[in-house]
Structure 1
Amino acid sequence: MTELHLWLRHEPRTTERRTPIVPSDARRLVDSGVRLTVEESPQRIFPIEEYEAAGAAVAPAGSWVSAPRAAVILGLKELPDEPGELPHRHIFFGHAYKRQPGAEALLGRFAAGGGSLLDLEYLVDDDGRRLAAFGFWAGYLGAALAVRQHRGSLVAPLVPGSKEELDETLRPVAGDEEFTALVIGALGRSGRGARVAFRTAGIEPTCWDLAETRDLDRPALLAHDVLVNCVLATTPVPPFLREEDLDDPSRRLRTLCDVTCDVGSPLNVLPVYDRTTEWDDPARRLRKEPPLDLIAIDNLPSLLPRESSTDFSAALVLQLLEFGVGGAWGRCLDRFHQACRELGIVEKEFGDD
């Protein structure tokens, strides 16, 4: 078997402090015969010295563009806009298989370079269940920020910290007695995280999942103070909120947190906003009277970078130790080829001029 060369890249987004592989799991990979190169990164929660001590080679930030072609480039979020052709195999969350904005351009770069995208969202087992996910922490932070926004205590810009520090801000306060919250997708990873955060704040949320959304009770939805959506649809479903719902005079809903941030996708279950929110402006007002605020941050777990990275890495390292052409990774590759075909993108054969 050919030696696997993993290249852990720097994340160009300044608010991305997570990593898909933590130093202790880097050591596990190296000890298992994986060649590991780790790029320097000014904001990664774990210092480069810990990776070097684990046996990884160190490379400058962004140097993956000149990595050996056989290297597998590992990251989390979006790539920079250049280079225009991508010859490597990349592992990251591409958000490109549901015709999201920029999907065709990204997949076209892979096709032009002869590379491929092994999207972490589609790294699944035989039953279609995600094998490595940040869902719990995304839900936890989504609910935590929603609680603070509803209480009027959410301060910008957001600052990463520890779970202990965050939980201190969630302690029950006077006035919470009438606080009503709804979690949609309550039985999934993100929904479980949201429920835990609400309970940390002393709030018992209403929990909806498939059974409750098949025949959606919109008046009941709008009767809650806070809604946290944890549903990432993979097939068309009726939207949970529509523009006309926001103007319903009986609406009690004041804070909406969309953990999934599927904005721009035709499968978006909350098609009432057209752009995400950011760390320096985490809540955006959708309606002035009665007020309705939106939180839609697409890298929520980066606010707890150490905890979320450690959990994700523990799951991903098991899959990386079995990296190959079949199984879960084979399904990832098949999904990439399918996405290219659906967009009419002709892939360049590996080794073509």
Structure 2
Amino acid sequence: MTELHLWLRHEVRTTERRTPIVPSDARGLVENGVTLTVEESPQRIFPVEQYEAAGCRVVPAGSWISAPTDAVILGLKELPDEPAELRHRHIFFGHAYKRQPSAAALLGRFTAGKGALFDLEYLVNDTGRRLAAFGFWAGYLGAALAVLQHRGRLAAPLTPTDKDALDATLRPVAGDEEFTALVIGALGRSGRGARVALRTAGVEPTSWDLEETHDLDRPALLAHDVMVNAVLATTPVPPFLRDVDLDTPARRLRTLCDVTCDVGSPLNVLPVYDRTTDWEEPARRLREEPPLDLIAIDNLPSLLPKESSTDFSAALLPQLLDFEVGGAWGRCLDRFHQACRELGLEPGA
């Protein structure tokens, strides 16, 4: 492997406390000859001193902009708006390949600077299965917040916690009414996490996957009290919910959590809302009578930053040790090139 220089950047989103590489795995990279530069970050769940002790070089937050051109910039969520031209290779979740409203602007920055995006969502094996994902924890947190909202115990603003503390709030207490819950996409990572959280809350969910959504029984969907959408659509499918469904008099559905958050994309299976919710306002009322509340937070696993980061890092570590070998990373780069050309952009990397 050509000597690899990874540059772990600070996340600009103030509620993003996760990291794609935890200190113990950073040590593994360093011991295998990878140069690892780590930016200081006031919110990252692991203090920068732990990375320094693992053999990493520490630099100020945001200094990746002036990093050597051969450095590979590693992060999770969105980049700052500047610089306008991105000249490095970046690894993060770009959310730009499903014709989202911001896709052209982001990919245009890469083509202008002749950089490249290795989107972690498209880091897959030869059968298309993602090699590193936060899906389980996204589903777990999504279902957990839906339970708390439905039971009137969701407090805002949200704050990061640990699994033991969260589970304690999920368990039913005297006076809690029974309710029904539906998980769509139940067999995937996110769906599995959602089912585990609901069972912790004392609820055995109805589980739907491809077979049940192929010929959707919408009245049966609306007959549940809580619904968690964990479907990651890759091709257009008929929506699971439409505005007209929300106004159906027989609707029993009261709490809706969209783990996938494909708002603005043609692949969105829940085109009944136009903006996500966040840690300050985790739930938003979509209908008043009868009430229907929406939870659609696009960085749910950051509410359990230590657990979710540790799992993700363990999966990503072997992929980083094989960076530039081809295979999964080559497929990642091909998908970037395809996305650029679909928008009429000519990739430079």
TM-score by length of 2: 0.99
| Matched ranges for 1:168-179 at <5 A | 168-176=168-176, 178-179=178-179
Contact 1:140 1:193 in 2 (8 A): yes
Are 2:196 and 1:196 aligned? yes
Q: By how many angstroms is 1:173 displaced?
A: 2.5
| Matched ranges for 1:143-292 at <5 A | 143-176=143-176, 178-292=178-292
SS in 1 for 2:172: coil
Q: By how many angstroms is 1:300 displaced?
A: 0.2
Amino acid at match of 2:254: R
CA distance in 2, matches of 1:106, 1:242: 30
SS in 2 for 1:38: strand
SS in 1 for 2:20: coil
SS in 2 for 1:198: helix
Q: By how many angstroms is 1:232 displaced?
A: 1.2
Contact 1:232 1:268 in 2 (8 A): no
Q: Partner of 1:15 in structure 2?
A: 15
SS in 2 for 1:83: coil
Are 2:71 and 1:49 aligned? no
Question: For each residue in 1:90-122, what CA deviation from the matched residue of structure 2 results, as whole angstroms up to 9, or x when unmatched?
Answer: 000000001101100000000000100000000
CA distance in 1, matches of 2:345, 2:208: 39
Q: Partner of 1:116 in structure 2?
A: 116
Amino acid at match of 2:262: D
| Matched ranges for 1:317-336 at <5 A | 317-336=317-336
Q: Partner of 2:306 in structure 1?
A: 306
SS in 2 for 1:50: helix
- Runs of 4+ that moved beyond 4 A: none
Contact 1:14 1:43 in 2 (8 A): yes
Q: By how many angstroms is 1:178 displaced?
A: 3.1
Question: For each residue in 1:228-250, what CA deviation from the matched residue of structure 2 results, as whole angstroms up to 9, or x when unmatched?
Answer: 00001000111000000000000
Structure 2: segments with no counterpart, 5+ residues: none
Query: Higher mean Cα deviation, 338-347 or 8-17?
Result: 338-347
TM-score by length of 1: 0.98
CA distance in 1, matches of 2:240, 2:288: 21
CA distance in 1, matches of 2:2, 2:216: 52
Contact 1:142 1:228 in 2 (8 A): yes
Identity of aligned residues (%): 84
Q: Partner of 1:87 in structure 2?
A: 87
CA distance in 2, matches of 1:302, 1:346: 34
Q: By how many angstroms is 1:177 displaced?
A: 5.1
SS in 2 for 1:323: coil
Cα separation, partners in 2 of 1:177 and 1:156, compared to 1, 3 Å: closer
Q: By how many angstroms is 1:347 displaced?
A: 2.6
Amino acid at match of 1:135: G
Question: For each residue in 1:152-201, what CA deviation from the matched residue of structure 2 results, as whole angstroms up to 9, or x when unmatched?
Answer: 00010001010011001001124555310000000000000000000001
CA distance in 1, matches of 2:178, 2:27: 50
Contact 1:24 1:54 in 2 (8 A): yes
Question: For each residue in 1:279-305, what CA deviation from the matched residue of structure 2 results, as whole angstroms up to 9, or x when unmatched?
Answer: 010000000000000000000000000
SS in 2 for 1:324: coil
Contact 1:180 1:203 in 2 (8 A): yes
Amino acid at match of 1:85: E
CA RMSD between the two structures: 0.8
CA distance in 2, matches of 1:242, 1:19: 36
- Give the total of aligned pairs: 349
Contact 1:227 1:256 in 2 (8 A): yes
